[in-house]
Chain A
Amino acid sequence: MKYIDEFQDPELARRLLDDIHATVTRPWALMEVCGGQTHSIIRHGIDQLLPDKIELIHGPGCPVCVTPLEVIDKALEIASRPEVIFCSFGDMLRVPGTGRDLFQVRGEGGDVRVVYSPLDALRIAQQNPDREVVFFGIGFETTAPPNAMTVHQARKLGIPNFSMLVSHVRVPPAIEAIMSSPSCRVQGFLAAGHVCSVMGMGEYPELAERFRVPIVVTGFEPLDILEGVRRTVRQLERGEHTVDNAYARAVRAEGNPAARAMLEDVFDVTDRAWRGIGVIPQSGWRLAPKYRAYDAEHRFSVEGIRTQEPAECRSGEVLQGLLKPHECEAFGTLCTPRTPLGATMVSSEGACAAYYLYRRLDMPAAKAQEATPVV
């Protein structure tokens, strides 16, 4: 298939793998930042094919996983109101807040709708002038520009019944936080290609230099990931630490200037909490003061909702690479995609969910049996 098959070609993959095997002389721990990359690695069995010396650590880059519990609770509160049509991307509907999720709100009579674009939500607002339409704006630098554009458009068109619950996060501060941790084991990063296609690569050289860590911009298909690993390992073996673009077909150094301009107009950088991690300074966006009228937190007075996240699971260790998902005692028993204890099991792109979905075969027999849904 054009644009997909050529990046899954087994023969080309074999050549890249041979090169990686020939290059590696020492153990290296690499972090793929993005949950989409984690998903692809596990789904295609890439980690099984790499040399044992290369350990892939699954980063916190799953937008669904990292949306804080209190933001989910705010969404649930707003979506429960009879005057509201609450619009969201599909995968947010299953994420548990304190005790329930958006699917349950819908089951209780809430008007919760899955949309494929924030502009769909804006159209729903135009079609339902007597209702309040709220879009759940979460995600990384990839989803932030269209969400920004939608708010910009709502203001420009003077649509009064549209607002957005915003919880956007930024990748570079997360990399900085991970590298600043005394327990950090990461020696190289596969940066998220689609994030860089928006933001460019300008934020990375300083990080690569300060932490002496190679950062290779990497795509999502199997060959993209193998090429990213190959280039990262090559740098590590040579003692280099530069920013390299292994996803040149999608990423330009300057990113997408129009998208960045839209982000700057609509959003301000702010501190953000990451679910399962905590507050990372300057790691998020919120609506700029001139767009305050479109801020759903303000409009529905849910700014005061505060939720403490109980310390019940070990996904923090998973995110640091100190623990593999299936090594956690709760994995597959107390904690499953249906009953997630932690952020990394919440979304199918979380590391624990990926292991649960695809890797039960690799586990000890008793554990695999426990983790198999009984039907």
Chain B
Amino acid sequence: MSDTTDLPGPALDVEAWTCPAPLRDRPRVVMGHGGGGVLSAELVQQIFAPAFGGEVLAQMGDAAVLSVGGARLAFSTDSYVVRPLFFPGGSIGDLAVNGTVNDLAMSGARAAYLSCGFILEEGVELDVVTRVSEALGAAARTACVEVATGDTKVVEAGHGDGIYINTAGIGLVPAGVDLRPQRVVPGDVVIVSGAIGVHGVAVMSVREGLEFGVEIKSDCAALGGLVDAMLAVTPDLHVLRDPTRGGLAAALNEIAQASGTGVVIRERDVPVPPAVANACAILGLDPMYIANEGKLVAFVPREHADAVLGVMRAHPLGADSVIIGEAVEGHPGMVVARTGLGGTRVVDLPIGEQLPRIC
């Protein structure tokens, strides 16, 4: 008995195997537009950038670098919509500080002042607001940054996930520091400051009620001090990125495409903690695409690589720093992984969000 009566049958005609219709362009926002991949980039490039205009925006860095009165200021903003509000190793309050501080740090700036906008959902307990605020204040003190201004809005019940936070920050870029992907040249060494995929899996473990046998704590941290230490060895770093949404894969792809160089990484050298690898194996996710909150990727001239790696490893937030690959002339704009067995594969920019596989 058939439950699909109008399809070819009963005998299978493999010569006539056919396929589905094309997917239409999406007329509405989907979650993938915020996933840090191709859809996010298209949203910015096709809607926001043309509408806003401006040369500074065209830098498309984690922070904009502005010339003001002879000084170079770094300026950045980010919004935090994490669910749940508290997770192993941190909270939305920590994220709201560290995320913006790190965006500034990736331009070489030490964050000085933050703004903080709270969007609260009607009904959220004031105790929760207090705990988030205290976490935010503590993270700011740790990062040596001052919350200088703020704003509060309340939305009706059902119109938010308890608390959303937006922070913006400014910092000073030291003289001689010029971090942008266009400076990357073939031969540059690619360094990551430690284990990847930790934050994303930590949040997933509590958000989805998944238990992976061991508790995985977020690596959420402010990286200003680590960047200072790296710049003290040499101001001639070429580019820094914190691989947040879209993970290491998205950060490397953005740099490869903006710089016009190829990137080769050695898959076995990419530090993935066993707990993260196991969680990803269970869910069918790739750690390369999982978000991080306390890690950075650096493209460093080869002659400075040992010195930079040395100071990174001497810093508590870079103790597990490791060289994972290099920029190359071949395959411009593309990231390629040498697999553990000796093959190669392209490491693509994600389309939207990663989705757990069915089996």
Contact = CB atoms under 8 A, between A and B. Distances in A.
Given A116-B210, A139-B358, A278 B345 contact: no
A3 B278 CA distance: 9
Given A64-B358, A107-B28, A375-B38, A273 B7 contact: yes
Contact of A309 (B3, B21, B210): B21
Q: Helix, strand, loop or mixed for chain B's interface?
A: loop
Given A1-B274, A222-B341, A337 B351 contact: yes
A271 B10 contact: yes
Contacts of B355: 90-91, 93-94, 114
A29 interface: no
A142 B359 contact: yes
A2 interface: yes
B14 interface: yes
B108 to A, nearest CB: 23
A356 to B, nearest CB: 8
A1 B12 contact: no
B31 interface: yes
Contacts of B277: 1, 4
A124 B326 CA distance: 48
Contact of B342 (A45, A349, A358): A45
B182 interface: no
A349 B357 contact: yes
B49 interface: no
B127 interface: no
A348 B29 CA distance: 22
A276 B357 contact: no
Contacts of B7: 68, 273, 278-279, 309
Contacts of B50: none
Contacts, number: 244
A92 B24 CA distance: 17
A243 interface: no
Nearest to B44: A375
A114 B356 contact: yes
A161 interface: no
The 4 closest A-B pairs by CB, nearest first: A45-B343, A316-B17, A342-B19, A90-B355
Interface of B: 1-10, 12-24, 26-32, 38, 41, 45, 208, 210, 253-254, 257, 268, 274, 277-278, 281, 283-284, 331, 333-334, 336, 339-346, 348-349, 351-352, 355-359
Interface of A: 1-4, 8, 10, 13, 36, 42-49, 63-64, 68-70, 89-94, 96, 98-101, 103-104, 106-108, 114, 116, 138-140, 142-143, 177-178, 180-181, 183-184, 194, 222, 270-273, 275-281, 284, 286, 306, 308-317, 319-320, 334, 337-344, 346, 348-349, 356-361, 368, 372-375
